[in-house]
Structures are given as C-alpha cells and as structure tokens.
C-alpha cells in the first residue's frame, strides 16, 4: 500500500481536530457512533511500547519493540446532553456490567492524510472503553480511557461526520 | 453570523430593570435612571481550544447605571426609605434577574454556531464607581459586569 502524503500546504501545521477518534457500538440492531473529545483540551494516543534494548560487547545498542498497547485517555469526559456514549457507559457503570466495556469498535481517522472523500483511517475491533471515575467539581466528569486492540483494518472514510462509510483498503 | 451585541441587547430588554429605563450602547448622555451598555474585549488567549476544533469563549459586557443622589443621612425609622439604598436595591435587581435566567438556562441567542453555557454577573452586588459631579443633579454611577460563556463550534469538523 503506498504511503499517502500529508495533505497540507508545505510547513503548515496540522490542526489537532484532524486526528479524530470515533467510538462505534450497537444498541439492539442499531449501530451508534460518537466522536470522542468534546470539551477535551488535550488527548493523545499513548502507544505504551514494550521496548527491550541490549548492548553487544562492542557497545552497540540493539533495540526491539516487542509490542505496543495503545491507549487514549479523555479527561475531562464531561457528561453532555445528547451524548449517547455517555448514556451507554453510565448504564454499564450502574449495572457493573464491565464485560460490556470491551465491545467497542474504534476508528482513528487521520484527516491530514489522504484526500477529501477518502481520508485515511484505521478500524480496530473489540476495543475497550473504561470509565476511570465519575464526579468532579462544577460539572459531572467521567474520565475515560480507550484501549485499542491492535486488531486493525486499514482503509478510508468518505466524510467527517457520523454517517461516514469505512472502506477497507484492497 | 449572529451579531452578539444585538443578541445580548435583545435579551436584556426582557429584564424589567432595563425595560423600564433607557439603555444606551457605549455612548450615553447620562441622566437619572439611565443605563449604559459597555462592550468589553476579551484577550483571545483566554479562549479554550478543544481537540474537536471547537473553542470556549467568553463575551463580557458591563451595564453602568446612573442614579440621582440624595444627600440625606440613613436613619433608623421604619417606612422611611433612603433613596440611595433604594437605588442600590433597584440595580441589584439586574444581577438577580441574570442569575435567575442562568438557572432557567434562558440564554441570549448567539446562533447555531454557538452553544451558550452560562450567563452570570462577575459579582454578587453592583460596584459603586463614584459620583458624577458634572451633572445636575449629581449622579451616582454603579456598574455590573456580566460574562457569557459559550462554545464556538463554527470551526468544529464533526457536527
């Protein structure tokens, strides 16, 4: 698969909003989606790489990345009116049905790569969204962590809205 | 795009304190019982940028109220109101009205590109700014600063 260039003018910085994390799940037979990061000022995908470095008798280092365990935290994750994901997580929390936390599909859309109508994206199934706490001061905050499964399908999405279509790469 | 100044004025006109006394925008020829709407600019570095492209902003304005003064001592006699205290109480009504609207989630209409989150005075009582002695009668000057917190979603990718 060819590497897509960054679709920005030379030296222009990519606005943070072009890196999008979307959660998908099913309610009955209905598929739901919600973009993550409303009212969040700073959030990054941390790859938590397991790195092993050995040094030979000549002093040369050899470094292996054995695995990654990607994770993205959203703090604050404010309870907002109209949020179906917040309602879903709150329902799981109330029932302590923690096994249901691992049934999410996560799309990571890199809208700064690819072309309009074919933004590069990765789809990861069986991801986990864990709520870390609930409370806060002025507003109710329920910080969450998204644990990516690394069960990845590469592809593109046709638009940057909830009704996008994901097309797997050939 | 909605004119936020006009939206706030259209909103304030529903407040009895504003409705019952003339309101001027920035410029005023001050007289007894008049109000001046003063725009206040906010440093854009106070904006909060969210990762979805939306921006938290604050719209600030000050209502300055002019009231004629009474050079009469405050006395402890029932049913003998002091004009200066009555004026202060009257101006307090604007603050209480704003707080009530905030509780009711009744906000100015900033249009579909903005989500208004709150409207609140920055103080619980009006500030007494002094006496304007250039006027006849002299005018007491009170001010109340009000802030509207809103989210500008015009640059948000994902609606």
Name the domain count of chain A: 1
Place B107 in a pLDDT band, splitting at 50, 70 and 90: very high
Do A162 and B48 count as a contact with CB atoms less than 8 A apart?
no
Place A1 in a pLDDT band, splitting at 50, 70 and 90: confident
Question: Is a pLDDT exceeding 90 seen at residue B137?
Answer: no
Place B81 in a pLDDT band, splitting at 50, 70 and 90: confident
Of B113, B108, B24, B95, residue with least CA distance to B66: B24
Do A38 and B50 count as a contact with CB atoms less than 8 A apart?
yes
Among B49, B105, B117, B158, the residue to mutate for chain A (most A Cβ within 10 A): B158
Q: What is the pLDDT of residue B1?
A: 83
Place B29 in a pLDDT band, splitting at 50, 70 and 90: confident
Q: Strand, helix or coil at B85?
A: helix
Nearest CA in chain B to A22: B158
Q: How far apart are CA B77 and CA B110, in angstroms?
A: 48
Mean pLDDT over A5-19 rounds to 95
B52/chain A closest Cα distance in angstroms: 5
Answer whether residue A64 is part of any domain: yes
Mean pLDDT over B33-56 rounds to 94
Do A35 and B53 count as a contact with CB atoms less than 8 A apart?
no
Answer whether residue A30 is part of any domain: yes
Q: What is the pLDDT of residue B80?
A: 75
Tell me the CATH class for B4-152: alpha beta
The partner residue sitting opposite A37, judged by closest CB among B48, B52, B155, is B52
Among A19, A39, A108, the residue to mutate for chain B (most B Cβ within 10 A): A39
Q: Please tell me if residue A159 touches chain B, with a CB cutoff of 8 Å.
A: no
Domain ranges of chain B: 4-152
Q: Strand, helix or coil at A18?
A: helix
pLDDT in tens, A141-150: 999 999 999 9
Sequence-distant (6+) residues with CB within 8 A of A105 are: A23, A24, A25, A123, A124, A125, A126, A127
Beta carbons within 10 angstroms of residue B108's beta carbon: 21
pLDDT in tens, A86-142: 999 999 999 999 999 999 999 999 999 998 899 999 999 999 999 999 999 999 999
Largest CA distance in chain A: 62
Beta carbons of B46 and B58 less than 8 angstroms apart? yes
Do A41 and B159 count as a contact with CB atoms less than 8 A apart?
no
Partners of A17 on chain B (C-beta within 8 Å) are 51-53, 155-157
Partners of A38 on chain B (C-beta within 8 Å) are 50, 52, 54
Q: What is the pLDDT of residue A36?
A: 96
pLDDT in tens, A21-65: 999 999 989 999 999 999 999 999 999 999 999 999 999 999 999
Question: Is a pLDDT exceeding 80 seen at residue B131?
Answer: yes
Nearest CA in chain B to A40: B50
Q: What is the pLDDT of residue B14?
A: 94
Question: Is a pLDDT exceeding 90 seen at residue B20?
Answer: no
Do A38 and B49 count as a contact with CB atoms less than 8 A apart?
no
Q: How far apart are CA B124 and CA A47, in angstroms?
A: 48
Residues of chain B in Cβ contact (below 8 Å) with chain A: 48-54, 56, 151, 155-159
Q: How far apart are CA B106 and CA B35, in angstroms?
A: 22
Q: What is the pLDDT of residue B158?
A: 81
For residue A2, the 8-state DSSP code is P
Q: Which domain holds residue A154?
A: 16-168
């Amino acid at each position: 698969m060819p590497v897509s260039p960054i679709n920005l003018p030379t030296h222009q910085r990519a606005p943070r909003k072009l890196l999008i994390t979307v959660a998908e799940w099913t309610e009955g037979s209905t598929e739901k989606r919600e973009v993550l990061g409303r009212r969040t000022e700073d959030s990054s995908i941390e790859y938590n790489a397991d790195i092993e470095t050995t040094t030979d008798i000549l002093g040369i280092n050899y470094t292996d990345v054995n695995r990654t365990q990607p994770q993205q935290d959203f703090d604050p994750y404010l309870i907002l009116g109209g949020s179906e994901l917040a309602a879903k997580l709150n329902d799981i929390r109330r029932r302590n049905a923690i096994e249901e936390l691992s049934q999410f599909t996560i799309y990571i859309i890199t809208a700064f790569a690819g072309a309009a109508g074919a933004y590069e994206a990765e789809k990861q199934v069986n991801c986990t969204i864990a709520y870390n706490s609930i409370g806060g001061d002025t507003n109710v905050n329920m910080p969450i962590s998204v644990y990516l499964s690394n069960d990845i399908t590469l592809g593109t999405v046709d638009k940057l809205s909830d009704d996008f279509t994901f097309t797997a790469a050939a | 795009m909605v004119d936020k100044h006009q939206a706030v004025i259209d909103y304030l006109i529903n407040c009895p304190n504003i409705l019952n006394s003339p309101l001027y925008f920035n410029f005023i020829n001050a007289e007894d019982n008049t109000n001046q709407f003063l725009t206040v600019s906010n440093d854009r570095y106070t904006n909060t940028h969210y990762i979805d492209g939306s921006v938290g902003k604050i719209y600030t304005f000050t209502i300055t109220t002019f009231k004629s003064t009474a050079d009469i001592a405050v006395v402890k006699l029932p049913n003998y109101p002091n004009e200066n205290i009555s004026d202060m109480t009257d101006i307090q009504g604007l603050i209480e009205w704003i707080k009530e609207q905030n509780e009711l989630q009744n906000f100015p209409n900033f249009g579909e590109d903005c989500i208004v989150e709150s409207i609140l005075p920055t103080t619980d009582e009006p500030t007494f700014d002094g006496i304007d002695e250039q006027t006849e009668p002299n005018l007491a000057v009170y001010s109340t600063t009000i802030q509207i917190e809103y989210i500008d979603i015009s640059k948000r990718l994902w609606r």
